[in-house]
Amino acid sequence: MTTQDLQSSMHKSVEAAQRNFNTIRTGRANTSLLDRISVEYYGVETPLKSLATITTPDSQTISIQPFDISSLASIEKSIATSDLGFTPNNDGKIIRINIPPLTEERRKEFCKLASKYAEEGKVALRNIRRELIEKIKKSEKEKEISEDQSHDEQENIQKLTDKYINEIEKNLADKEAEILKV
């Protein structure tokens, strides 16, 4: 695996952690809160984004306008049964979700969830590092590379891992600040 491939796979882990952070609710309405919602549409689980236009007309409201009005009820049901805790309001054409302000207790729960997502991202990075270091050690045992090369490559991999872990921690700190902001 080249350094380019390593950076690419580690960057993907950081992006995945960031996508998870985006699904965590803060005090403001954000369309990415609904990214994980899928709706049964003609017997197939379909992402909500594919079925409707999702907008935020103001900082406390998310508006969902389905492309097909017949899917309105199933969209409403999917949102209501999701783990987000939202109560959708259906007016026959548009679904509106009012985002209530977060309580202190709820903010702490969301910070814990963000920490969990960050830890999952770091574990993914460490797994990539472990696999690569095992390959390098195997190459060294089979005398394909020298001991010095092996040591240098392991050191470079560790530096890259540290860089991406720091990036996840920075993203976590930003998200926690956003969650705790009243």
Structure tokens at 104: 């202190």
* Helices 147-180 and 3-22: angle between axes, nearest 10 degrees: 20
Domain count, the chain: 2
Domain of 137: which CATH number?
1.10.132.20
Domain of 44: which CATH number?
3.30.1360.40
pTM over 0.75: no
Residue where one domain finishes, among candidates 98, 121, 155: 98
Q: What is the mean pLDDT of residues 163-174?
A: 94
Residue where one domain finishes, among candidates 98, 119, 145: 98
> What's the pLDDT tens digit per position in 43-82?
889 898 888 898 988 888 889 899 988 888 888 888 888 8
Q: What is the mean pLDDT of residues 19-27?
A: 81
Residue where one domain finishes, among candidates 64, 98, 132: 98
Q: Does 34 share its domain with 8?
A: no
Residue 48's domain spans which residues? 28-98
The DSSP line for 87-150 is -EEE-SS-EEEE-PPPPHHHHHHHHHHHHHHHHHHHHHHHHHHHHHHHHHHHHHHTTSS-HHHH
Q: What is the mean pLDDT of residues 143-161?
A: 90
Q: Does 136 share its domain with 161?
A: yes
Query: Do 6 and 13 contact (CB within 8 A), yes or no?
Result: no
Query: Do 9 and 128 contact (CB within 8 A), yes or no?
Result: yes
